[in-house]
Amino acid sequence: MQDITIIRPDDWHLHFRDGEMLQETVPATARCFRRAIVMPNLVPPVTNKTEAMAYKSRIMAAAKDYPNFEPLITLYLTNTTTPADIREAKEAGIVASKLYPAGATTNSEAAVKGIKALYPVFAEMEKVGMLLLIHGEVTASHIDIFDREAEFIEQHLRHIVADFPGLKVVFEHITTKDAVDFVLAASDNVAATITPQHLLLNRNDLLVDGVKPHNYCLPVLKRNTHQQALRAVVASGSPKFFLGTDSAPHEKHKKESACGCAGCYSAWSAIELYAQVFQELDALDKLEGFASTHGPDFYGLPRNTDTVTLRAETWTIPDTITLPTGDDIVPFFAGQEVQWKLAE
Strand ranges in 201-318 using DSSP code E only, listed in sequence order = 241-243, 307-316
CA distances from 31 to 145, 302, 324 (A): 35, 20, 18
Asked if residue 13 belongs to a known ligand binding site, the reply is: yes
On whether the CB atoms of residues 327 and 17 are closer than 8 A, the answer is no
Asked if residue 98 belongs to a known ligand binding site, the reply is: yes
Asked if residue 246 belongs to a known ligand binding site, the reply is: yes
Task: Give the integer Cα–Cα distance in Å for 109 and 25.
Answer: 23
Structural element, H or E, at residue 337: strand 337-342
Asked if residue 135 belongs to a known ligand binding site, the reply is: yes
Residue 67's CB: how many other CB atoms inside 10 A?
8
Task: Give the integer Cα–Cα distance in Å for 325 and 305.
Answer: 36
To the query of whether residue 319 is one of the catalytic residues in this protein, the response is no
Strand 131-134 and strand 96-99: the pairing is parallel
Asked if residue 250 belongs to a known ligand binding site, the reply is: yes
Asked if residue 173 belongs to a known ligand binding site, the reply is: yes
DSSP string, 272-298: HHHHHHHHHTT-GGGHHIIIIIHHHHH
Asked if residue 16 belongs to a known ligand binding site, the reply is: yes
Strand 307-316 and strand 3-7: the pairing is antiparallel
Strand ranges in 184-247 using DSSP code E only, listed in sequence order = 190-194, 241-243
Task: Give the integer Cα–Cα distance in Å for 152 and 182.
Answer: 11
Determine the distance from the C-alpha atom of residue 312 to the mean position of all C-alpha atoms in its chain, rounded to a whole number.
Answer: 26
Asked if residue 41 belongs to a known ligand binding site, the reply is: yes
Asked if residue 133 belongs to a known ligand binding site, the reply is: no
Catalytic residue among 246, 285, 297, 327: 246
Residue numbers in the known binding site for substrate are 15-17, 41, 135, 218, 250, 262
Residue numbers in the known binding site are 13, 15-17, 41, 98, 135, 173, 218, 246, 250, 262
Residue numbers in the known binding site for Zn(2+) are 13, 15, 98, 135, 173, 246
Active-site residue numbers? 246
